[in-house]
């Protein structure tokens, strides 16, 4: 199995160490969080990003919060409520964030009445479990997904659903990695993914580090490539999947799905089952984050648009289930009709 050389987050028992993804690929600097507010800030500023990665980061944020809360036992419960609320408020679209915080809260409830050192120890174990389970889920996604990738396939991906977006290996890039490890000699087109360029800065960088052939394109070139017959399949990650199979993912995913359909190209989603939101029937209920206009007006301090120009900057869009060929999860591959197939995979 190939060595994955990038790690979005590391936990040493005291400190959550995050590679600052806003500075990659040029600078490899780390954010070291010793309290939950630091974790919340890092998620909000996208120093850590990617649905599974922010879920795991928030879980460790809850561990840090428990340690902070332990210094004032009478205020413990209200401190934890505030911490969970602040971590939840960081970003609205990726459901893994809420899933991980909810799981940590449930663990905390089960530990009620235990001595504080036990609570701390058990909460840490739960966060580590989330972390390790995510890695394991990515490996399984990779295995299931690689079976769908033909030898020599030219695979297009958008944004970064890689090791950096998860606790390691990646979802969409996990499938790509697994296919590469199986010797399928695939090549990758990486959409640069405006405005924050996760495709250019993170996906291209990850794949180059692993020696997987990658070519960078602007988002607006994807349709032309499909028209020229240069794309065999598309695979992306997900920030939230509804019970009916609608998928929220990085802005631009919907356009790719429409283009894929027009060119008869398979459109695959790769995500762990922790990304499925069974409380939502369809994608209309998914909140779409709008981010600051400055992300579109400058790049690394270099002004790229008239100062003060009005900007619309939605960070995600929703692709309806009918445009999705299959959803690759850690429990298998779901195909239409999704209400049935997703329910079956999740044991519902």
User: Is 247 a binder of a copy of itself (CB under 8 A)?
Assistant: no
For the bound state, the minimum distance from the C-beta of residue 177 to a copy of itself, rounded and expressed in Å, comes to: 17
Of 1 and 309, which has the nearer Cβ to a copy of itself? 309
| 142 neighbors 169 (Cβ within 8 angstroms) | yes
Distance CA 324, CA 221 (A): 21
User: Is 200 a binder of a copy of itself (CB under 8 A)?
Assistant: yes
For the bound state, the minimum distance from the C-beta of residue 323 to a copy of itself, rounded and expressed in Å, comes to: 10
Q: In what order do the strands lie in the sheet with 16-19?
A: 9-11, 16-19, 30-33
134, 210, 239, 330: which one is catalytic? 239
Site for a copy of itself in 32-51 (CB under 8 A): none
For the bound state, the minimum distance from the C-beta of residue 135 to a copy of itself, rounded and expressed in Å, comes to: 24
User: Is 23 a binder of a copy of itself (CB under 8 A)?
Assistant: no
For the bound state, the minimum distance from the C-beta of residue 93 to a copy of itself, rounded and expressed in Å, comes to: 13
Distance CA 36, CA 62 (A): 7
Which of 83, 197, 248, 326 is the binder for a copy of itself (CB under 8 A)?
197
Per CB under 8 A, the segment of 106-114, 184-192, 234-242, 338-346 that binds a copy of itself is 184-192
Distance CA 18, CA 30 (A): 5
Binding flags for a copy of itself, 209-238, as an x/- string (CB under 8 A): ----xxxxxxxxxxxxx-x-----------
Find tokens 């332990």 and name the residue. Answer: 70
N-term to C-term CA, the chain: 33
Distance CA 192, CA 184 (A): 24
Q: Quick one: which H or E segment has residue 338?
A: helix 338-345
User: Is 347 a binder of a copy of itself (CB under 8 A)?
Assistant: no
Cα–Cα distance list, 46 to 22, 39, 120, 199, 282 (Å): 7, 10, 27, 14, 27
Per CB under 8 A, the segment of 108-116, 168-176, 313-321, 335-343 that binds a copy of itself is 313-321
- For 63-100, letters b (16+ CB in 10 Å) and e give bbbbbbbeeeeeebeebbeebbebbeebbbbbbbbbbb
Of 112 and 303, which has the nearer Cβ to a copy of itself? 303
Does 239 participate in catalysis according to the annotation?
yes
Cα–Cα distance list, 183 to 50, 64, 144 (Å): 27, 42, 16
Site for a copy of itself in 164-183 (CB under 8 A): none
22 SS3 class: coil
Size of the site for a copy of itself (CB under 8 A): 54
Cβ-proximal residues to 176 (8 Å cutoff; 6+ apart), any chain? 149, 155, 157, 170, 186, 188, 207, 212, 235
For the bound state, the minimum distance from the C-beta of residue 284 to a copy of itself, rounded and expressed in Å, comes to: 11
User: Is 301 a binder of a copy of itself (CB under 8 A)?
Assistant: yes
Site for a copy of itself in 55-84 (CB under 8 A): none
Residues found near a copy of itself in the complex (CB under 8 A): 25-26, 158, 189, 191-195, 197, 200-201, 204-205, 208, 213-225, 227, 251-252, 254-255, 258-259, 261-262, 296-297, 299-306, 309-314, 317
- Residues identified as active-site: 239
């Amino acid at each position: 199995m190939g060595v994955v050389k990038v790690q979005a987050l590391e936990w040493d028992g005291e400190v959550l160490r995050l590679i600052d993804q806003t500075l990659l690929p040029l600078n490899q600097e780390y954010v070291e969080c010793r309290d939950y507010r630091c974790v919340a800030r890092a998620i909000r500023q996208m120093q850590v990003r990617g649905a599974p990665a922010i879920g795991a980061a928030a879980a460790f944020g809850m561990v840090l919060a428990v340690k902070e809360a332990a210094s004032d036992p009478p205020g413990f419960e209200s401190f934890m409520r505030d911490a969970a609320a602040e971590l939840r408020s960081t970003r609205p679209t990726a459901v893994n964030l809420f899933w991980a915080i909810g799981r940590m809260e449930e663990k905390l409830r089960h530990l009620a009445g235990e001595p504080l050192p036990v609570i701390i120890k058990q909460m840490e174990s739960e966060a580590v479990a989330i972390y390790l389970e995510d890695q394991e889920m990515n490996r399984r996604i990779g295995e299931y997904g690689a079976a769908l990738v033909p030898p020599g396939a030219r695979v297009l991906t958008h944004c970064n659903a890689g090791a950096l977006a998860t606790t390691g290996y990646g979802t969409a890039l996990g499938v790509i990695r697994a296919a590469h490890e199986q010797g399928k000699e695939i090549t990758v087109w990486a959409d640069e993914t405006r405005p924050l360029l996760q495709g250019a800065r993170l996906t291209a960088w990850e794949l180059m580090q692993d020696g997987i052939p990658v070519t960078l394109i602007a988002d607006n070139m994807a349709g032309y490539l499909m028209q020229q017959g240069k794309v065999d399949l598309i695979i992306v990650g997900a920030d939230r999947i509804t019970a009916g199979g609608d998928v929220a993912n990085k802005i631009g995913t919907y356009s790719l799905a429409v283009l894929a359909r027009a060119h008869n190209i398979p459109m695959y989603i790769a995500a762990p089952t922790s990304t499925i939101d069974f409380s939502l029937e369809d994608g209309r209920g998914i909140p779409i984050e709008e981010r600051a206009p400055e992300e579109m007006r400058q790049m690394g301090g270099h002004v790229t648009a008239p100062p003060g120009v009005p900007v619309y900057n939605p960070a995600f869009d929703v692709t309806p289930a009918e445009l999705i060929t299959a959803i690759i999860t850690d429990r298998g591959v779901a195909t239409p009709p999704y209400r049935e197939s997703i329910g079956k995979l999740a044991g519902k």
